Amino acid sequence: MNLMEYKAQELFGRFGLPANRGVLVQSVEELAKTMNSLTYPLVLKAQVETGGRGKAGGVRIVKNKDKLLEEADAILNLNINGFDVKKLYVVEALNFQREMYVSIIFDRAEKVPLLIFCGNGGVDINEIAEEHPEDIIRYHLMPGMGIRGYMTDYILDKSGMSRNLKESLQDILEKLYALFLEKNALLVEVNPLVLTDKGELVLLDGKITVDDNALFRHEDLLAYRDEMEDNPLILDARANRFLYIPIEDAGTIGVISNGSGMIMSSIDLISRKNLTVKCALDLGGGATAERIKEAVRIVLSNPDVKLLFINIFGGITRCDEIARGVKLAYAEADYTIPLVLRLEGTNKEAGLEIIESLPVSFQLSDDLVDGVEKIVEISAVGEQL
Ligand code: GDP
Ligand code: MN
């Protein structure tokens, strides 16, 4: 998961780093309320999960109140690389003499973190790497080693900066590394780190990527992830420990299955028949009737789903549990959406008996390929697909 600048700056602050923090607003009205308490000039910064904001007009300096709301409105109406700007970070502008780049990235090839520094930052690091590869300093950080004083000395010398900055740069690198380790980050990037006119080092823009597999350890980041998500069905599924995946906007089929392999094969086979999947829900491990019921409820609450395909191999999850769950869901909400149910495995007979009295049109199948054939049959009959 990528953290937007304002969240990265908040984390930097929490780790004692000198970040240029600002206020986050979501509308011009909200900004209007705080505009008298701000210190000008200001920098207005679009918050989007993509790079290149500056070039797209998403970073603007405003000298005084006159043009503030107009500029803010313009940014909040931008779409940058396909992302609508919904949040604006408003920070006090700083005067600086120099921009630098610093990051710690997890180097998968070497299996250790890599510290990268460049004395000429601000611009895209890929551009620097192409044009001035010799300007980029790299240190692999071996476990237990930490940021060594000689690294900081070399960075300052090579960048032509005064060793008077050693203490503050050392402190910044150590804290960035602590954040990287503690938050299970794959990337912590500051671009630019600036040397202000007052001779202080300040983090002006940041990006943090956290390992999704470690998110469960970080309640604050899980909360942030939910804040960022505006699809209520994804949130609903998450709260139930399911994974809801929107597939195609124009899709009409909902798929419920167990495990990503099964989901992908279902989608592939359905797509090959020129039918389109709207969404898929991964149940995760074994599921009880109650959980199956919730899964069906979530998928069918998408109004575009006109057919439901449930493809679960009844192993640890028994077929009678699956059937009971499906029946419970349909009974609770009077759904009329037709169903194709693959029911195979433990307690299949008991499952068939339960599902027999389902009040909507349904088809049963023994395996995935046959299940997809049944979907095709129903689709040929029902005009709605
Ligand atoms: P990015 O384009 O998404 O990387 O956004 P940044 O926050 O890095 O800003 C882009 C550039 O805008 C920086 O490299 C600076 O040159 C400039 N900039 C950002 N904040 C300030 C500021 O407080 N003062 C000044 N003078 N320039 C700034
Ligand atoms: Mn930047």
Q: Could you tell me the distance, in angstroms and rounded to a whole number, from the CA of residue 7 to the centre of ligand 2?
A: 14
Which pLDDT does position 273 carry in this prediction? 94
Q: Which atom of ligand 1 is nearest to the CA of 45?
A: 7
Return the DSSP state at 35.
G
Task: Decide if pLDDT at 261 tops 70.
Answer: yes
CA 195 to chain centre: 32
Q: Token pair 């921009």 is at which residue?
A: 99
Which pLDDT does position 128 carry in this prediction? 86
Which pLDDT does position 383 carry in this prediction? 54
Full strand arrangement of the beta sheet holding 59-62? 23-25, 87-92, 42-47, 59-62
User: Which of 294, 302, 301, 295 has the alpha carbon at shortest distance from 248?
Assistant: 302
Of all protein residues, whose CA lies closest to atom 5 belonging to ligand 1?
Answer: 54
Task: Decide if pLDDT at 55 tops 90.
Answer: no
Q: Could you tell me the distance, in angstroms and rounded to a whole number, from the CA of residue 193 to the centre of ligand 2?
A: 9
Question: Rounded to two decimals, what is the model's pTM?
Answer: 0.84
Ligand 1 pocket: which of 6, 9, 59 to mutate (most atoms within 8 A of CB): 59
| Both structure tokens of 185 | 């980050």
Q: Could you tell me the distance, in angstroms and rounded to a whole number, from the CA of residue 139 to the centre of ligand 2?
A: 22
pLDDT digit string (tens) for 111-149? Answer: 999 999 999 998 888 888 898 899 999 999 999 889 999
Full strand arrangement of the beta sheet holding 362-365? 243-246, 277-282, 253-257, 307-314, 339-345, 362-365
Which pLDDT does position 345 carry in this prediction? 85
Active site residue 101: yes
Active site residue 150: no
pLDDT digit string (tens) for 185-195? Answer: 999 999 999 99
Provide the Cα torsion 14, 15, 21, 24; round to 10°.
-40
CA 218 to chain centre: 14
For the chain, the average pLDDT equals 94
User: Which of 80, 126, 87 has the alpha carbon at shortest distance from 103?
Assistant: 126
